[in-house]
Chains A and B, each alone.
Chain A
Amino acid sequence: MSNTGIGARIERTEDKRFITGNGRYTDDINLPGQVYASFVRSPHAHAKVTGIDAKDALALKGVVKVFTGKDMEADGLGGLICGWTVTSKDGEPMKVGGHPSLAPERVRYVGDCVAVVIGESREAARLGAEAVAVSYEELDAVVEPAQAQNQNAPKVHEDIDKNLCFHWELGDKEATDAAFDKAAHVTHLDIVNNRLIPNAIEPRAALGDYNPGSGDYTLYTTSQNPHVERLVLSAFVGVAPEHKLRVISPDVGGGFGSKIFVYAEETVCLWAAGKIQRPVKWTAERSESFLSDAHGRDHVTRAELALDGDGRFLALRAHTVANLGAYLSTFSSSVPTYLYGTLLSGQYDIAAIHVEVEGVYTHTAPVDAYRGAGRPEATFVVERLVERAARETNKDPAELRKKNFVTKFPHQTPVILNYDTGDYNACIDRASEMIDYKSFDKRRKEAQAKGKLRGIGFSTYIEACGLAPSNAVGSLGAGVGLWESAEVRVNPTGNVEVLTGAHSHGQGHETSFAQLVSDRLTIPIEDITIVHGDTASVQFGMGTYGSRSAAVGMSAIDGALDKVITKAKRIAAHILEVQPDDIELADAAFRIKGTNKFIPWGELALNAYTAHKFSTSEIEPGLKETAFYDPTNFTFPAGCHICELEVDPQTGCVEIVDYVAVDDFGTIINPMIVEGQVHGGVLQGIGQALLENGVYDVETGQLVTGSYMDYTMPRAHDAPPLRLDFTNTPAPSNPLGVKGCGEAGAIAAPAAVLNALTSAIGHENISMPATPAKVWRAIQT
């Protein structure tokens, strides 16, 4: 390991601009002649739009233009799309409700866009939006997923029966039922996986620009995947052809999934820029973020685990109703199906699994991927079931887990996935040791003596990351391939630019990707720049989500580096008059093995471009290579998190007194960055467990938790100190052995916390978020 290479704990190169106020986020960018967009949003959960009168708005000083859905329709623009087709168990494709950017006739959730007002200033646009008079005929709404299919439930889309988008299943029902029939014990679980609102601290923003001379459009936007954004806006919405549209995602202030999707607002800004031939800018107010960012989770699940007399897991079955919201967002159908059902085997050897998921429309904001995306929901089901089964059968929860762990690899689960590597015992043993599990009873008694209820809870999670083998996801309904691209450009002076289709919005790619390049090319990290987030620089890429950028994105870079090194060795061999196999690259020089004859890296690079010393009929001038990397399997990060907490029975307040996480992410590029990812993920998981809840009023469909006054974001004093460690079974499916670390914390933590809490209060009857009021009530029962 070099001091800046793979495995080095080095400071981030991107930090300098952020700590000095020189980050460049979308809202920091202004263009000459720029105007501002403000959206007229539905105040109703469900209504017919019977009229839009913009004349008062247009009369206001500074209001430039008002557009409605009819204007977009007249321009032939398509609606927003969902890129993953799920097939129901009866063989029918999912039922897709139309999703216009500006709703022309009917609004389907509070915050649905009806019109846009363009103003000379932010204030003019906002005042104009308030002056647009929209007439509504209010209709009944349904917001609860469990009620969406009721006979009398109002329909979200008139042509979709029972609000049912799909009724999907996975696994062998017959075998599963048969296993349950012979079970010695069955553990039941009814759970709600609470709705979450992602809340990246940078609100979504867009700045659309159009050049009437060239016909070129540019969109600056807060996207985790600018190329996918461009593809959707070109191929489906039809704002501009792909080669006439440049999408730039500059610094992006957090995403957590919510900035994967193609939203109405940026679509409208881009299109409107062309209509009025001036740059159009929109930045969400936080209340708009709450209303219109895609939300996460929102499952209602009944699950059962069958055990034999010895405590071995025989089968698992689950039935889930998943709230999809009013419209399908960009990848929403994949989240409660293939990113959820496939993970229900957990770390366990379970012979039979069957899961059914009903995806339903409701009059709420669209629900899509949020950190973990399906995998936290699966982990919560599996780990709550296992913990409960241990309690019901009087077994130690750690021992029951170990008895059922998969220990031989590869392991084919009954739900598609083929686990390629792992050592689950290593994680649980290390975590148990760190938290001193065997002394827990002593600590519980000490807590009792001071009037506190102390509990401990395990979560041994697994996730499928490194999304994903293109063939595999294609066969499951994905409309895209999930490879990644990279281009390595060696400049004549020897420094290197690496173009990647991955996108960093906090993950530190500019550092960790450069560590790989420094390692492979043996050049200083200062000589390397990572370029991302601009469709005019990077040819194509799939972006960052699903903990994929190390496993897939860096593997693509690795492939391009192979090609660069191969070509550089050929050039060196020509110059040194030996065979390429005689050349080695070390210490920034190409050396004839076993000799002291060498060409320094920089000299080789210059030679590649001057092309004086080799035959250009044999070797092309220049030193630039591209690679597309498609993974051969998912990666399977896994680990064990243990939470220990105390409850004050007087107040219901919960204090997490210790939290340990031992994760197997395979090879780690920069431990400092990886630890940071775990810290942040775990706190989001703790937030789900104890604090956060996206609540709609059942009667009116109003979002009750629409600001930071109402939606409880974890603050510094809510965050317990975390203790981390890592194990390493390198992933065999990519050349670097990396598995991905971005989502593990959010996946593991909710089950660890709820298992600890139910252990403390002595019964299972409590739901997330376990607020002090809920905990206090639970203690009284």
Chain B
Amino acid sequence: MTKVSMRINGEQVNADVDGAQLLAYFLRDKLNLTGTHIGCDTSQCGACVVHLNGRAVKSCTMLAAQADGADITTIEGIQKNGELHPVQRAFQQHHALQCGFCTPGMIMAAVDIIENTNDLDEHSVREQLEGNICRCTGYQNIIAAILSAAKEMRG
């Protein structure tokens, strides 16, 4: 067991973790943050994307122990004062989700894309979503939602 200490969604978390435990399982099993999903074994689908120190990472790709000292945000932590994040709102408005399983990872990836890309257009959003698979939507409305949220977030 390894002792870890991290901030998750603004709260301090101290825990003993199995050295082999992946961050995704730590979030789901230990902290009951089941919004982070696991859709593949090969870091391909992106359902498990969370923010680690402000950048999107696949939480199935790193050990919980590696996140020691980190500041983590999951899908459960992006609302501010009970208000939906603009990306969450845009996903609903644009019908950018169907079954909802890829959605948390998509939203977390989208927030990162918007915050860290200067000139966003349809092409660049599509390219940057390479790491997230959706089987339901054909991506069309996801792209529309991200572009719309980007516009709103940049005023």
Distance in angstroms between the alpha carbons of A28 and B33 in the assembled complex? 9
B42, CB-defined interface residue at 8 Å? yes
B130 touches A200 (CB 8 A): no
A558, CB-defined interface residue at 8 Å? no
Question: Looking at the complex, which of A10-18, A103-111, A129-137 is the stretch in contact with chain B?
Answer: A10-18
Whether A16 touches B92, Cβ cut-off 8 Å, given contacts A201-B133, A716-B125, is yes
Encode A478-517 as 1/0 by CB contact (under 8 A) with B: 0000000000000000000000000001111000000000
B39 touches A675 (CB 8 A): no
In the complex, which residues of chain B have a beta carbon less than 8 angstroms from the beta carbon of A676? Answer: 95, 98, 136-137, 141
In the complex, which residues of chain A have a beta carbon less than 8 angstroms from the beta carbon of B129? Answer: 715-717
In the complex, which residues of chain B have a beta carbon less than 8 angstroms from the beta carbon of A780? Answer: none
CB distance from A279 to the nearest CB of B (A): 15
Nearest-neighbor residue (CB-CB) of B87 within chain A: A19
Nearest-neighbor residue (CB-CB) of B18 within chain A: A123
B74 touches A202 (CB 8 A): no
A15 touches B91 (CB 8 A): yes
B132 touches A716 (CB 8 A): yes
Which A1-52 residues have C-beta < 8 A from chain B?
11-12, 14-25, 27-28
- B45, B125, B138: which contacts A201 (Cβ < 8 A)? B45
Distance in angstroms between the alpha carbons of A171 and B9 in the assembled complex? 64
Distance in angstroms between the alpha carbons of A682 and B139 in the assembled complex? 11
In the complex, which residues of chain B have a beta carbon less than 8 angstroms from the beta carbon of A673? Answer: 95
A682 touches B104 (CB 8 A): no
CB distance from B95 to the nearest CB of A (A): 5
Nearest-neighbor residue (CB-CB) of B98 within chain A: A506
B75, CB-defined interface residue at 8 Å? yes
B101 touches A25 (CB 8 A): yes
B20 touches A123 (CB 8 A): yes
B139 touches A286 (CB 8 A): no
Encode B63-85 as 1/0 by CB contact (under 8 A) with A: 00000000000111001000010
Which A654-678 residues have C-beta < 8 A from chain B?
672-673, 675-676
B140, CB-defined interface residue at 8 Å? yes
Whether A707 touches B135, Cβ cut-off 8 Å, given contacts A201-B99, A254-B98, is no
Whether A20 touches B75, Cβ cut-off 8 Å, given contacts A199-B135, A201-B99, A506-B136, is yes
A287, CB-defined interface residue at 8 Å? yes
**How large, as a class, is the contact surface on chain B?**
35 or more
A11 touches B93 (CB 8 A): yes
B88, CB-defined interface residue at 8 Å? yes
A19 touches B91 (CB 8 A): yes
B40, CB-defined interface residue at 8 Å? yes
A254 touches B140 (CB 8 A): no
B34, CB-defined interface residue at 8 Å? yes
B130 touches A680 (CB 8 A): no
A28 touches B135 (CB 8 A): no
CB distance from A717 to the nearest CB of B (A): 4
A202 touches B101 (CB 8 A): yes
B107, CB-defined interface residue at 8 Å? yes
In the complex, which residues of chain A have a beta carbon less than 8 angstroms from the beta carbon of B57? Answer: none
A715 touches B133 (CB 8 A): yes
Nearest-neighbor residue (CB-CB) of B143 within chain A: A716
B95 touches A680 (CB 8 A): no
Distance in angstroms between the alpha carbons of A33 and B141 in the assembled complex? 42
A709, CB-defined interface residue at 8 Å? yes
CB distance from A719 to the nearest CB of B (A): 5
Best-buried of B38, B93, B99, B143 by chain A (most CB within 10 Å): B99
A253, CB-defined interface residue at 8 Å? yes
A684, CB-defined interface residue at 8 Å? yes
Encode A701-714 as 1/0 by CB contact (under 8 A) with B: 00000011100010
Nearest-neighbor residue (CB-CB) of A717 within chain B: B126
Which B99-150 residues have C-beta < 8 A from chain A?
99-104, 107, 122, 125-127, 129-130, 132-143
Distance in angstroms between the alpha carbons of A287 and B140 in the assembled complex? 28
Nearest-neighbor residue (CB-CB) of B108 within chain A: A21
B99 touches A253 (CB 8 A): yes
Distance in angstroms between the alpha carbons of A673 and B34 in the assembled complex? 26
Distance in angstroms between the alpha carbons of A211 and B139 in the assembled complex? 44
Distance in angstroms between the alpha carbons of A17 and B76 in the assembled complex? 10
Nearest-neighbor residue (CB-CB) of A16 within chain B: B92
A251, CB-defined interface residue at 8 Å? yes
Whether A682 touches B138, Cβ cut-off 8 Å, given contacts A21-B74, A675-B95, A717-B130, is yes
A472, CB-defined interface residue at 8 Å? no
Nearest-neighbor residue (CB-CB) of B44 within chain A: A708
CB distance from B43 to the nearest CB of A (A): 9
A167, CB-defined interface residue at 8 Å? no
A286 touches B41 (CB 8 A): yes
B97, CB-defined interface residue at 8 Å? yes
A201 touches B135 (CB 8 A): yes
In the complex, which residues of chain B have a beta carbon less than 8 angstroms from the beta carbon of A717? Answer: 126-127, 129-130
A713 touches B135 (CB 8 A): yes
A708 touches B133 (CB 8 A): yes
B141 touches A709 (CB 8 A): no
Best-buried of B74, B84, B88 by chain A (most CB within 10 Å): B88
CB within 8 Å of A: which residues of B? 18, 20, 25, 28, 33-42, 44-45, 47, 74-76, 79, 84, 88, 91-93, 95, 97-104, 107, 122, 125-127, 129-130, 132-143
Can you pick out 9 interface pairs between chain A and chain B where the beta carbons lie within 8 Å of each other? A19-B103, A20-B35, A22-B35, A122-B25, A253-B101, A254-B136, A707-B44, A716-B139, A716-B142
Q: 11 extra interchain contacts, Cβ-Cβ under 8 A, other than A122-B25, A285-B41?
A: A18-B100, A23-B101, A23-B103, A254-B99, A254-B136, A507-B98, A675-B95, A679-B140, A679-B141, A680-B137, A716-B143
